[in-house]
Amino acid sequence: MSSLFSLLLSIFFAISYASTAPLPLLALLTLKSSLHDPLLTLHNWTYASIENYSSPTLDPPWCYWPGITCDSITGEVTSLDLSNRNLSGTIAPELHLLSRTLTHLNISRNNFTGTLPSVIFDLHNLVSLDIGHNNFNSTFPSTISNLKLLNTLNAYSNSFTGPIPNTIFNLTILQYLNFGGNFFNGSIPSETGRLPQLRYLYLAGNLLGGNLPDQLGELSLLEHLEIGYNNFYGGIPVSFGQLTKLQYLDISSANLSAPLSPELGKLKRLESLFLFKNQFIGTIPVEFSNLKALKVLDLSDNKLNGSIPDHLVQLVNLTLINLMSNHLSGSIPVGFGDLPNLEVLNLWNNSLTGKLPQHLGLKQRLERLDVSTNFLTGPIPPNLCSRNRLVRLILFSNRFTSAMPNNLRNCSTLWRIRVENNRLTGPIPTGFGSLPNLTYMDLSQNLISGPIPSDLFVSISLEYLNVTGNPLGCLLPELIWKAPRLEVLSASYCKLEGVIPNFESGCRNIYKIEIDGNRLIGNIPIDISQCNKLLSIKLDKNRLTGEIPQGIASLPSITELNLSWNSLTGLIPFQFSNCTTLESFDVSYNRLAGPVPWSGPMLKNMQPWVLSGNPGLCGEAVDKPCPSNNEGGNIVAKGSAGAAIMWVAAVAVAVAGIVVLALGTRFAQQKAEMKEGGAEPWHMMTFQKLSFSAEDVAKCVVGAEGIIGVGSTGTVYRAKLPSSDVIAVKKLWQPKKQEDCVAKREVKVTDGQRIMAEVEVLGSIRHRNIVRLLGWCSNSDTTMLLYEYMPNGSLEELLHGGGEKKGAKVVIDWETRYKIAVGVAQGLSYLHHDCRPVVVHRDLKPSNILLDADMEARVADFGVAKIINGADQYMSVIAGSCGYIAPEYAYTLQVDERSDIYSYGVVLLEILTGRRSVEAEYGEGNSIVDWVRSRVLRAADGRAWEVLDPTAGARCKEVRKEMTLMLRVALLCTSKSPDDRPSMRDVLLMLQEAKPNRKQADGCKGSQEGSPVVDC
């Protein structure tokens, strides 16, 4: 209130004393009054602050206001910087009162919208104008030509449309022009060549097309040119060879074709050349070897063929060479091993042959080497990490021979090793377990022999070890389960011998064990039951004996178990009947006997072959009756007494059966008569005034016509009532039908409990992002929950297709996705921070996020929600859906807000990538979290965005930037440690950073295939 009073007072004085007040003061106070300043960054701009101003020898007091710069001699306002203040509103016309002295105006990084204010073009003495990072969304005014003295113009990241105005080329002293990140269309005007002083030209991330104009080559002073992420055609003009002062050239992802222009070899000052993700054909011009200043060369994701020119080794300043995903052949120039500054060499996905340069890394600061998926042969260079900087060594799918270099075991920076699918020999060198950063090591499908070094299993960092398909011919180390961070151990078909070591106190993070296809003997260790994170166990095709440990069936998250082709004996543990997480089960070809457990949901649906080869098994699963308990034992004595007892018992049972049948028939008749006569009333509870009855609702949920969805607890109908109201009705199943991979353990949640959970939570909540429960009604047969109807279905249908319209999935722009993400976050934040007591949803996923007519998100389905009173609580059930359950929740059953935050992070990843939470491509036991993290970690600099859905606008640079910010939030939310996850309030604050400050355009919605990504 005081700030508003101050503002009004300032305006009053400014108007009252207009005849005597200085013009700069009037201009600035009027400007302030026209702006919306929610952060009060201009609160010092007041008339009161100049009341003590009297001496003409002092600088005017407004020169000390934030954002104002005055001439040190005259005291005139020369610069106005209002950047990054979250301002909106209009720019007052009175700003022209500063036109005589103002030379610099910066209103960037605010929230201005609409047309660019015309008063700006009255500021004839402007030298620098920065309006970037706003949302101006008109065509660019032609009156820009009024600013004859302008040498810097930055309009980056707005929503300007239409063609680039020709009048801009009348600014003959312009040196810096940035029109990137807008929606300009048409072609680049040929008049661009009329800017003789231009040094920086940025037009990337627009909707520009056509051929690149030859006249760009006339910009003789140009040092920096970025025009990629557009949709040009043709090639690079020969005239570009005239840009002799050019240092930076980026025309990536621009749909260019034709051969590369040899004229580019004339750019002697060029330091960075980015031409990736086009359709260039032909060979790499030999003339490129003349680019003596070149540091970065990226020609990846094109259709280049031929060999890599040997003359490129003359470019001694090169730090990065990206030539991956082309059709290159021939050998790698030997001289690459002598480039003194080389840090990154990416040549994957070509058809290269021959050897890697053996000097590679010896005199270099090599950090990343990826030559995977080629036909390279020979030994791995021995000195790749001589400078101790190598981080990633990716050599898979080649034909390398010889042993692993011993020097690598001293490479403390090494983080990831992938050398699978080669012909490497010799032993695994001892010492890799001492590397402090090594997390991923894949040596599979080689010819490596000898023992697995024990030091690998005391590594403090190793998470993934794969030695599958090597003829190791050794025992499993006793310490194999001790690595504190090991998650995956794969050692299949390695000719391993001996017994499986006891787990003891190890295996606390292991979730996948694959040691199938070996020669292991002995029992499966009983203490495997303490490996609480295990999801997958593959011990098949060994020589194991003894019984199946009962504890395997009690593992809280086990989904895959393969024990086939062993010599196991005894029973299949009955505990498998209660194992609801199991999805794949195979015990075929053992020596198992006895009844097969048949009550578990997985066991009921298993294929018969998973039990074959065990002739001693019996029961319904194998279509073989089990012998009675007394068969083979003492026979009950035969005699008149025994016979009499049997006859009496038989008669008693028969009489009882007749009585029960008669009573049951009569009860059913009475019940039917009550229904026909309407004697069975509905009970209805509402949470607001409704204009319809339970009977009206019941008539709408008969048959399949109105069904719009099926959930884990019932069928959802669209009900149009006699009052013309349209609502959604969830008709609950009786008895309960379980679907959707809802995992539960030890005790079952009854229908009544889930109904009351939903009613208890939703009945008292009113929030714009929580679906509204209107009421519920029931009789002895049916229970129905009544909700407001969401015409746009669920986020699941929107992202992945299906739903009521049964069509293909819709292309959803970035702004809509962002709006949905924020809506869900606001709903969860309310549940976690504003409800007393706190409410934890526990089953957040896209199918439980509904969308109203305005695409506003509503969190729904609180059937397994939990009200938390006080500290952390522990549940006797795992409630949630596969792919969304926080990792710690599956084995600790601890209930708190952080499990919801993990699920929300998974939903964000689906929104960002357009993928489902679980897909076959991710690999066994992996989810979208693992898939995204692996690709983000292996992405080259600035390429992590390739996991983003191109149909959302990820091809547009500014949209990509915003999506990447949200990606960071998603990765934080899905942190493995609950303590590392932000609160939902923090999530909302972080999402503000990713807020779209521009309007989407059709050109940013189109699908664009990403470059091939190698899983490294």
Annotated binding-site positions for ATP: 731
Nearest Cα residue to 449 out of 418, 485, 404: 404
Buried-state track 214-245, b at ≥16 Cβ within 10 A, e below 16: ebbbbbeebbbbbbbbbbbeebbbebbbbbeb
Nearest Cα residue to 247 out of 178, 304, 300, 317: 317
**Encoding tokens for residue 890?**
């599956």
Calpha distance 242→795 (Å, rounded): 53
Residue with tokens 């007892």: 645
Q: Out of 843, 861, 896, 900, which one is annotated catalytic?
A: 843
The residues pairing with 345 across neighbouring beta strands, listed in sequence order, are 321, 369
Calpha distance 400→380 (Å, rounded): 7
What residues contact 259, with CB distance under 8 A and at least 6 apart?
Answer: 235, 280, 281, 282, 283, 285
Calpha distance 457→923 (Å, rounded): 24
Calpha distance 540→587 (Å, rounded): 8
**Encoding tokens for residue 1013?**
């990504």
Rg (CA), the chain: 36
Buried-state track 120-149, b at ≥16 Cβ within 10 A, e below 16: bbbbebbbbbbbbbbbbbeebbeebbbbee
**Encoding tokens for residue 529?**
């039951």
Q: What is the DSSP string of 223-239?
A: -EEE--SSEE-S---GG
Q: What is the DSSP string of 983-1007?
A: PHHHHHHHHHHT---S---GGGTS-
What residues contact 863, with CB distance under 8 A and at least 6 apart?
Answer: 711, 712, 713, 754, 755, 757, 758, 843
Annotated binding site: 731
Neighbours of 717 (CB within 10 A): 24
Q: Which 3 state secondary structure label does DSSP give 171?
A: coil
Do the Cβ atoms of 238 and 215 come closer than 8 Å? no
What residues contact 60, with CB distance under 8 A and at least 6 apart?
Answer: 22, 24, 25, 50, 53, 70, 75
> Distance between alpha carbon 948 and the CA centroid of its chain, in Å?
7
Nearest Cα residue to 867 out of 760, 753, 981, 750: 760
Length of the chain: 1016
Calpha distance 244→286 (Å, rounded): 18
Residue type, 178: N
**Encoding tokens for residue 691?**
């204009």
Active site residue 843: yes
Enzyme catalytic residues: 843
